[in-house]
């Protein structure tokens, strides 16, 4: 898997830490729990989208773009990091925010909404669930073109074949760290949302000869829908990389038991997982992605899905700035 042939910007110095969680491991009395700290990636506040943006922004610059346009939910970590990358590169940025929960956008809200303003977003356009998001982004790109500038559109979550290369690269990084420390992981667990992280790391591991099972915890869709999404993107990544051979759809494992009432809507299990990681290990999760993914991890441990003595790696995809918009839910549920 030769990723050096793809242009890439670097927003993080070196590898992100891979840590053992001894207190949480003892508390759960099950497998040894490890965490890959992609919350410590570069740009404003870190998170998994930084890895994807390294490839996407490099492509934008190659095409001569001066403005980035992307889409996300009203507290989107991806939007925050796309905006931060634009600032880093001296570009402008416009955001299309989708109200996946009716009337959920508050321009004065804390969390990522505050950071959009602080980082100097050029324009925020708020649309309702069901809006044609590609058309909304294209309308912004047309407006940018009318100003004599050039826009580059980044899909939601940075989750296309190019952006997902960031997590093929992460798979390589994890295997190098595991080798150096003598850690043969039995499982990897990650949040599964727009699909780029889940598909990218799965393709990357298999391309490098690793058979570590990847378990995705859905934060939005039903298992069949999420499996279809991740499987389709995995096939696109393989084709993009020129990987031949058969792809087994059974490789895509997703649990949808932890979504709760809907995307971004708090659950007691999410709140408990966020508190547990904070109070046992001093690690901040987020309420939308890693909180629900951690709730899934802990429940699957309790049910014996991950066995005592196994080594389980939890991929922390960041997002903690959103915590500040969910204080009541996290502390009181």
> Active-site residues: which are they?
76
321/305 Cα distance (integer angstroms): 31
Name the strands in the sheet holding 18-20, side by side, starting at the edge strand that comes first in the sequence. 18-20, 32-37, 311-316, 187-192, 214-218, 253-255
CA torsion angle for 109, 136, 233, 261 (degrees, to 10)? 40
- Return the bridge partners of 67, or none: 92, 151
User: Cα 168–172–174 angle (5° rounding)?
Assistant: 110
Q: Which of 38, 241, 59, 237 is nearest to 154 (CA)?
A: 59
Contact 131/105 with Cβ under 8 angstroms?
no
Sign of CA dihedral 156, 161, 166, 171: positive
């Amino acid at each position: 898997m030769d990723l050096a042939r793809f242009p890439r910007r670097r927003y993080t110095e070196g590898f992100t830490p891979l840590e053992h969680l001894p207190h949480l491991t003892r508390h759960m009395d099950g497998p040894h729990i490890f965490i890959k700290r992609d919350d410590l990636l570069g740009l404003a506040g870190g998170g998994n989208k930084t890895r994807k943006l390294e490839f996407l922004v490099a492509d934008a610059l190659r095409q001569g773009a001066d403005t980035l346009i992307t889409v996300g939910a009203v507290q989107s970590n991806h939007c925050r990091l796309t905006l931060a990358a634009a600032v880093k590169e001296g570009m402008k940025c416009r955001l299309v925010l989708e109200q996946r929960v009716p009337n959920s956008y508050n321009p004065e809200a804390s969390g990522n909404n505050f950071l959009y303003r602080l980082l100097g977003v050029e324009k925020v356009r708020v649309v309702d669930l069901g809006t044609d998001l590609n058309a909304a982004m294209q309308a912004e790109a047309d407006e940018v073109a009318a100003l004599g500038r050039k826009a580059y559109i980044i899909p939601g979550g940075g989750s296309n074949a190019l952006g997902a290369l960031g997590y093929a690269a992460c798979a390589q990084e994890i295997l190098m760290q595991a080798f150096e420390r003598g850690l043969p992981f039995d499982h990897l667990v990650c949040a599964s949302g727009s699909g780029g992280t889940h598909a990218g790391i799965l393709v990357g591991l298999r391309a490098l000869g690793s058979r570590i099972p990847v378990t995705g915890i859905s934060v939005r869709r039903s298992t069949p829908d999420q499996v279809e999404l991740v499987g389709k993107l995995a096939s696109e990544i393989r084709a993009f990389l020129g990987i031949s051979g058969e792809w087994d759809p059974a490789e895509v494992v997703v649990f949808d038991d932890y979504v709760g009432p809907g995307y971004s809507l708090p659950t007691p299990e999410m709140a408990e997982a966020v508190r547990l990681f904070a109070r046992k290990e001093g690690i901040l999760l987020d309420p939308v992605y890693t909180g629900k993914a951690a709730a899934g991890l802990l429940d699957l441990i309790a049910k014996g899905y991950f066995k005592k003595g196994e080594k389980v790696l939890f991929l922390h995809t960041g997002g903690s700035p959103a915590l500040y918009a969910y204080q009541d839910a996290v502390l009181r549920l």
